[in-house]
C-alpha cells in the first residue's frame, strides 16, 4: 500500500521572466514502511516538495494523496486535522516550545488532537523512553543538547502515531556526534516500519534511507534503491596481502 502518492505535481512561483518552477511535474509513490530520502542542492525544490506533501503549501497543479485521501484539494479544516493526526513533522531547527518541558512538548500534539491529559502523559512517557530521554523529561529545551532536542522533536512527531513522518534537514543544525544520535533514532523508526520521508542535502544522512531520490531544478533525476548490502565492506579486507 502506498502511504503517499504524488502525480504530476507542480509548484510555480512568480510569473513571466521571474517564473520559478520549484516542483516541475513530479510523480512519486511511497509505500508503507519505506524510508525515503530526497536529496539535491539548495534551491532544487526538495523542501517545496515536502511542504506540498504535508499540505503546508498548495500546488499549482497535480495531485497529492495521503493514504488514499486527496489532500491538495482538501479544505483548510480537513487539512488541519490531517496535519495533526496523520503527519509528524521534524524540522531542522527543532521548533520545540521553549516554555514547555520535553514531556509537555510531546504531550501537546496528543492534547491538540483531542486526547485526554492522562493519555497524553502516558504517551509522552512512552515516547521519551523510546528515544532514550526518559531522564530528561522535565527539562526545558534550552537545557538539552542539540541531539537531545531533536530526539524530543522526533518523539513529538510520533505522538499521534502518524502515517508518515516528514523531516526537513533533520540533522542540519547538528554536529557529527549529534547527527549520528538522531540517525540511530531514525534507524530504529525504520526497523519499526515507520514510513519516513526526509529531505537532506547531506549524502551521509540520505544514505541511511531505503531509497534515495535526487532532485535538480524541480525534477527527479535519479531514483536509487539503497536497501540491502552489496557486501562491499566485507570485501574490503579480502585482499591478497
Closest approach of other proteins to the CB of residue 155, in Å = 19
In the three-class reduction of DSSP (H, G, I as helix; E, B as strand; rest coil), residue 10 is classed as strand
* 141/213 Cα distance (integer angstroms): 33
Q: Tell me: does residue 229 bind other proteins (CB under 8 A).
A: yes
Please choose, out of 23-31, 84-92, 96-104, 198-206, the segment that lies near other proteins by the rule CB under 8 A: 198-206
Q: Which of 102, 179, 100 is closest to 147 using CA atoms?
A: 179
Q: Which is nearer to other proteins, 4 or 212 (CB)?
A: 212
Of 181, 198, 200, 213, the one binding other proteins by CB under 8 A: 181
> Does the protein bind other proteins through residue 192 (CB under 8 A)?
no
- C-alpha closest to that of 207 among 187, 233, 235: 187
Looking at the Cβ atoms of 116 and 224, the one nearer to other proteins is 224
| Minimum CB–partner distance for residue 33 and other proteins (Å) | 17
Give the count of residues interacting with other proteins (CB under 8 A): 28
Task: Decide the pairing of beta strands 61-66 and 35-39.
Answer: unpaired
Burial of 2 (0-12, 13-18, 19+ CB in 10 A): middle
DSSP 194-224: -EEEEEES-HHHHTTSSEEEEEETTEEEEEE
Considering the complex, what minimum distance in angstroms separates the CB of residue 181 from other proteins? 7
Q: How far apart are CA 116 and CA 70, in angstroms?
A: 29
The β-bridge relationship of strands 20-31 and 2-13 is: antiparallel
Nearest to other proteins of 198, 209 (CB atom): 209
Contact present, 196 and 189 (Cβ < 8 Å): yes
Q: Which is nearer to other proteins, 120 or 131 (CB)?
A: 131
* Binding residues among 203-222 for other proteins as defined by CB under 8 A: 203-204, 206-209, 212, 222
- How far is it, in rounded angstroms, from Cα 79 to Cα 66? 11
Using the minimum distance from each CB to other proteins, give the nearer residue, 80 or 177: 177
Name the residue nearer to other proteins (CB basis): 97 or 207: 207
Residues 158-177 that bind other proteins (CB under 8 A): 177
Which spans of this chain sit near other proteins (rule: CB under 8 A)?
Answer: 41, 177, 180-181, 183-184, 187, 203-204, 206-209, 212, 222, 224, 226, 229-230, 232-239, 241
Amino acid at each position: 500500500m502506498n502511504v503517499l502518492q504524488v502525480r504530476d505535481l507542480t509548484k510555480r512561483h512568480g510569473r513571466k521572466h521571474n517564473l520559478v518552477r520549484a516542483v516541475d511535474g513530479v510523480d512519486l509513490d511511497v509505500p508503507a514502511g519505506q524510508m525515503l530520502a530526497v536529496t539535491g542542492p539548495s534551491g532544487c525544490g526538495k523542501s517545496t516538495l515536502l511542504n506540498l506533501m504535508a499540505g503546508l503549501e498548495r500546488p499549482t497543479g497535480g495531485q497529492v494523496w495521503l493514504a488514499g485521501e486527496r489532500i491538495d484539494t482538501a479544505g483548510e479544516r480537513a487539512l488541519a486535522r490531517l496535519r495533526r493526526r496523520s503527519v509528524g513533522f521534524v524540522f531542522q531547527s527543532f521548533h520545540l516550545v521553549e516554555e514547555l518541558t520535553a514531556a509537555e512538548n510531546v504531550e501537546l500534539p496528543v492534547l491538540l488532537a483531542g486526547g485526554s491529559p492522562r493519555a497524553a502523559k502516558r504517551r509522552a512517557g512512552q515516547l521519551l523512553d523510546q528515544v532514550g530521554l526518559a531522564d530528561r523529561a522535565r527539562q526545558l529545551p534550552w537545557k538539552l543538547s542539540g541531539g537531545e532536542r531533536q530526539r524530543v522533536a522526533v518523539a513529538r512527531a510520533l505522538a499521534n502515531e502518524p502515517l508518515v513522518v516528514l523531516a526537513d534537514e533533520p540533522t542540519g543544525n547538528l554536529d557529527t556526534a549529534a547527527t549520528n544520535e538522531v540517525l540511530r533514532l531514525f534507524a530504529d523508526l525504520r526497523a519499526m516500519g515507520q514510513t519516513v520521508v526526509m529531505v537532506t542535502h547531506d549524502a551521509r544522512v540520505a544514505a541511511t534511507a531505503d531509497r534515495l531520490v535526487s532532485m535538480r531544478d524541480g525534477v527527479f533525476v535519479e531514483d536509487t534503491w539503497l536497501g540491502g548490502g552489496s557486501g562491499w565492506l566485507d570485501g574490503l579486507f579480502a585482499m591478497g596481502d
